[in-house]
A and B are shown apart, each in its own frame.
Chain A
């Protein structure tokens, strides 16, 4: 795990130092900031040193828990990340949960009705869903939410951000509801994006499992179809899905960037874009590290789930 993080950070650091630009560009262009000060900042953060030395200095600080300073936000990187990580986790958890709750039953249902109308209509919708790029879908939904006006129960669907103005004046329930309303649009966009693929995989995996000899053997023992499906087929069919869960979840953490940017969801994706555009070195490195770390955590989680579901997998 750590060698991988090291490799990722090294490559990211190199690429970043090879790219044009300068984290202090804004300060340099500001006539109010004296050259002397800029040189002092450069010396303080080691920007005047050769790249390998800069990397080692950065690494030694990170190991001690210091992620550095964001020149764009003029705050410590850890604070900025901490603020954004929650929003991204919230979005990822919400849409992963929604995707799974919808896609897996739909896949199983389609498998059981293979070739009949439920399977066919779900297939068509799935292919449409897979073909629509998330940014387009996000724009479509933004437009729809703007045109639709207030809806019953939910009211007007917010078209951006995490909270409404005046959030601080709300009580706890009000705050939760406010965030939930903001979550709706990016969450649904991401769910639709992931739904189609997962439904196909869940359908395929269920079909494959149902054609296994132990399913025929279970039928031969006189077990009911529902028992066969839920007790014998489902857990086996879930195995490939669990593998996918790790990837899906971590891919959402980093890959939701398009949706985050279009719906101005203040998450890691949007933050990474802002950081790269201003060449905010320490912030870029932190988002990269965080992305890889979350990927690994996602995979670790799916491995643990695997071991829990399948006695052939042992945690060592």
Chain B
């Protein structure tokens, strides 16, 4: 097996005494899209920020993040800066606030091109126009002079995608890039991301809480619950045949995924708070299958396909 592009091993993130992410492991192969799914507060965004070394200073990160074999967690600020935008780029959830309101679209793009490719002046301008065209912005040369407040949310997200890709990264981290957009725009942005990923043969970590979106863009799916990995496997397999009771519950609560029951079910209870995780398996208070051991012992994730559960749902034969 060839070395994966990104390999995360036993990544734990704490803020003081609060443990937000606990021993998270996953990897992304070259050209692969991993969908990272979970409810709000399960540690998705924190994990993605840790991949770029962007967590606030008080965050305590342990474990290993390897990109192409290079350990990232021990990097200093300057070395991190050479990773950001050039090897790992990021698209954020809210395009309304991710652009500097005082700088024009052109300035934004030319700056990234200057920093990462050393392209300046007229060359940077034409390159920037090319990128705007590539992300589907109509009349790109005129749009160069526009300021963020003159663009719609979808247009701003396209600009942000153009900036993320202009550094020619190996890995694109997309943190809920369509959540803040209108439904019709969501589909366009998803298509755009999927197409550009293929064209540029990048890998992508796609973070979302929307299983429908994952089905559309991802090759593999990792389900996160309460800061821990619940399940990780090929997307069709996990969606068709969830092994972790949480994944099963999640799918049962979304229309269109579980035709067999016919009715939508909700998972009883609520996601526990990071300041008071339950003992043992963190899902046990909400799990129908829970038994004594689930209350005391943390389930050890199995090797691929990964399931972290004492009593996984049986595979249908």
Contacts and interface: CB of A to CB of B under 8 A. Distances in A.
Interface stretch (A69-77, A141-149, A229-237, A242-250): A229-237
Nearest to A217: B98
Nearest to A214: B100
B83 A218 contact: no
A interface SS class:
helix
A83 interface: no
A97 to B, nearest CB: 24
Interface string B125-155: 0000000000000000000000101000000
Nearest to B53: A219
Interface stretch (A8-16, A58-66, A163-171, A220-228): A220-228
Interface stretch (B28-36, B89-97, B186-194, B208-216): B89-97
Contacts of A216: 54, 92
A218 B167 CA distance: 13
Give the most central of A217, A225, A232, A310: most B CB within 10 Å.
Answer: A217
Contacts of A236: 100-102
Interface of A: 212-214, 216-225, 227, 231-232, 235-236, 309-312
B198 interface: no
B42 interface: no
B116 A222 contact: yes
Contact of A220 (B89, B99, B102, B104): B89
Given A213-B98, A217-B90, 5 more contacts: A223-B115, A231-B103, A311-B147, A311-B149, A312-B149
A182 B222 CA distance: 73
B66 interface: no
Contacts of B163: 221
Interface string B69-110: 000000001000111111001101010011111111000000
A278 B89 CA distance: 72
Interface of B: 52, 54, 77, 81-86, 89-90, 92, 94, 97-104, 111-112, 115-116, 147, 149, 160, 163-164, 167
B115 A217 contact: no
B167 A223 contact: no
Nearest to A212: B97
Contacts of A217: 90, 92, 98-99, 160
A241 to B, nearest CB: 14
Nearest to A221: B85
Contacts of A231: 103, 111
B90 A220 contact: yes
Contacts of A311: 101-102, 104, 147, 149
A220 B94 contact: no
Given A216-B54, A235-B102, A221 B167 contact: yes
A213 B102 contact: no
27 contacts: A212-B97, A214-B97, A217-B160, A219-B84, A220-B89, A220-B90, A221-B85, A221-B167, A222-B81, A222-B82, A222-B84, A222-B116, A223-B111, A223-B115, A224-B81, A227-B115, A231-B103, A231-B111, A232-B100, A236-B101, A309-B102, A310-B102, A311-B101, A311-B102, A311-B149, A312-B101, A312-B147
